[in-house]
Structure 1
Amino acid sequence: MMGNFLTNQQIASLVEAIQSAEDHSTGEIRVHIDSNTENRDAKTAFDVFKKLDMDKTAERNAVLFHVNFEQKYLTIIGDIGIHEKVKQSYWDHLHDYITAEFAKGHYYQALKSAILETGLELKKHFPVEGENPNQLPNEITFS
Structure 2
Amino acid sequence: MSFGEKLSRAWRHLSSSKAEAKRAFPDDTLKAIADAITAGEQTHRGEVRLVVERALPFDCAWDGVTNRQRAIALFADCGVWDTEDNCGVLIYVNLAEHKVDIVADRGIDRKIDHATWQAVCRTMTDGFKQGKFHEASLDAIGQVNALLRQHFPAEGARPNELPDKPLML
What TM-score do the two structures reach when normalised by structure 2? Answer: 0.79
Name 1:14's counterpart in structure 2. Answer: 33
RMSD, aligned CA: 1.4
SS across alignment from 1:91 = helix
CA contact (8 A) 1:29 1:63 kept: yes
Quote the Cα distance in structure 2 between the aligned partners of 1:116 and 1:17. 7
Match of 2:105 among 50, 61, 79: 79
In the alignment, structure 2 segments of 5+ residues that lack a partner are 1-17
Match of 1:31 among 26, 50, 72: 50
Quote the Cα distance in structure 2 between the aligned partners of 1:69 and 1:36. 6
What TM-score do the two structures reach when normalised by structure 1? Answer: 0.92
CA contact (8 A) 2:48 2:89 kept: yes
More divergent stretch after superposition (122-131 vs 21-30): 122-131
Name 1:70's counterpart in structure 2. Answer: 96
Q: Which amino acid aligns with 2:118?
A: D
CA contact (8 A) 2:68 2:101 kept: yes
Deviation at 1:64, TM superposition (A): 0.9
Quote the Cα distance in structure 2 between the aligned partners of 1:136 and 1:21. 13
Greater than 4 Å deviation, 4+ residue runs = none
Q: Which has the higher contact order (CA 8 A, sep 6+)?
A: 1
Pairs aligned (count): 143
SS across alignment from 1:105 = coil
Match of 2:116 among 90, 95, 101: 90
Quote the Cα distance in structure 2 between the aligned partners of 1:59 and 1:3. 34
Match of 2:72 among 26, 39, 46: 46
